Amino acid sequence: MTAVNDSNDLEALFDSIAADAPSITKPPVPAPAAIDEENDSDDLQALFDTVATDYKAPTAPPPPANPPPAAAKPAASVQPAASDPVAATNWPNQQQNVFNNIGKMARQLHDTIHELGYDKLLEKTASALPDAKDRLAYVANLTEQAACRVLNACDVTNPLIDEIENGSKVLSQRWEMLYSNQLSVDEFKQLATETRIYLKQQVPQRTKASRAQLNEIMMAQDFQDLTGQVIKKIVNLAQELESGLMSVLLEVVPDDHRTQEVTDLLNGPVINADGRSDVVVNQQQVDDLLESLGF
Amino acid sequence: MAVDPKMKFLVVDDFSTMRRIVRNLLKELGFTNVDEAEDGAIALQRLQGGGFDFVVTDWNMPNMDGLTLLQTIRSTPNLKHLPVLMITAEAKKENIIAAAQSGASGYIVKPFTAGTLSEKLNKIFEKMGML
């Protein structure tokens, strides 16, 4: 979460939450920092060692996955945070604990935000997340198409280059024979004719076709250097974040405020044109529209 | 054909990949005299330097966007005659109308093909009486 260049507002919010519960959360592990996977592992490892060598009965049971509504008050939801590290020492359950922690943080966030009057900000975030997800999925789709185009172009070009190479190999072998005085006059004439055709037609045809494929490869690069795998991971993350946060948010956001249309002129590419009449989907529609307006 | 293959193009886009693609496509069409600018503000500086015959611009760019560049070109006496072709991902109808009303010579939506660029260029040359 910290790695993504999220809004400063959200980061400030996290800081304020961390500052809200200093006495309880800070001594064991700084609560917000627990999101950072690498640091988290180190901290947890150190904690595990401490607990393993100096074992005593667990101070508190693992926190419940879904705190009951009664635990919604900030004070109540902060309390179990102190027991997080202990719960996390159970390595096989670490993933489950991470989920529990995220769930708890969402709850904590929800309560604090509501109390601080930040729900407007969160409302904006909630509407931006689905859009970000669609954009990433769109990029993943484009990169896949580009990869296919490039591979297809290579499949077409390779045989052309092979033909040029083989043709020149055969001809050069016969020219070698000529220089070794192994060809008759008629054979030489035949070789000269074939070489002429090769140079005049066969090579230019294939280089022209190859250039067309190079052009196709170039055109397939109209996306930036993004790997599909990373993007798909981010899409999954966005989906998890969305479903987690949305369920919390929808409790407080009024129905009529759930969607907000952006109406300025800088929207970027249309991600999903289904059911929209305000956008064009291809060049023909652009031309038709301009024509209908007399341009 | 009265189209001068030496005519000077200015390709304006904040993504270098797209500038390179447009430059290569223009080269394929026989136009090798191509300069580049990464936003509208830089483009205006280049244009004021003189010598340009054609502008191909993106819409969404930092500092100065393509529509503002177009409007500025159209309101600048020594630049207003320049043909301006917009190549953009902005595909809302109000975008296309706004561009046309501001005096765009052509409008291409991304992603586009080499054939589309060629067709639109020819259409503009035709209107200018060069074909």
Mean pLDDT of chain A: 70
B17 CB neighbours in chain A (<8 A) are 221-224
Is B127 an interface residue toward A (CB < 8 Å)?
no
CB contact under 8 A, B89 and A269: yes
Average confidence (pLDDT) over A133-158: 80
pTM over 0.80: no
Render pLDDT for A264-279 as a digit per residue (tens, 0 to 9).
777 777 778 888 888 8
DSSP, collapsed to helix, strand or coil, labels residue A115 as: helix
Helix axis angle for B66-74 and B40-48, nearest 10°, is 30
Give how far B21 is from chain A: nearest CA, Å: 7
pLDDT, tens digit, 9 for 90 and up, residues A64-114? 445 444 444 444 444 444 444 544 456 667 788 888 888 887 877 777 666
Task: Tell me the chain B residues in contact with residue A278 when contact means C-beta distances shorter than 8 Å.
Answer: 92-94
- A142 chain-B contacts, CB cut-off 8 A: 111
Q: What is the pLDDT of residue A38?
A: 46
Of residues A266, A268, A290, nearest to B100 (C-beta):
A290
What integer is the mean pLDDT of A141-148? Answer: 79
8 Å CB contact between A63 and A80: yes
What is the value of ipTM here, to two decimals?
0.72
- Which two structure tokens, joined as six digits, stand for A101? 């922690």
> How large a percentage of chain B has pLDDT more than 90?
76
CB contact under 8 A, A279 and B91: yes
Strand, coil or helix: what is B97? Answer: helix
Q: Phi, psi at residue A96, to the nearest 5°? A: -60, -40
Q: If you measure CA to CA, which chain B residue comes closest to A282?
A: B109
B 44-63: CB under 8 A from A: 59-60
> Which positions in chain A touch B15 (Cβ < 8 Å)?
224
B64: contact with A, CB 8 A cutoff: no
A289 within 8 A of B93, measured Cβ to Cβ: yes
Phi then psi dihedrals of residue B15, to 5 deg? -100, 125
- Does the beta-carbon distance from B89 to A268 stay under 8 Å? yes
Chain B residues in contact with A265 (beta carbon < 8 A): 59, 67, 90, 92, 94-95, 98
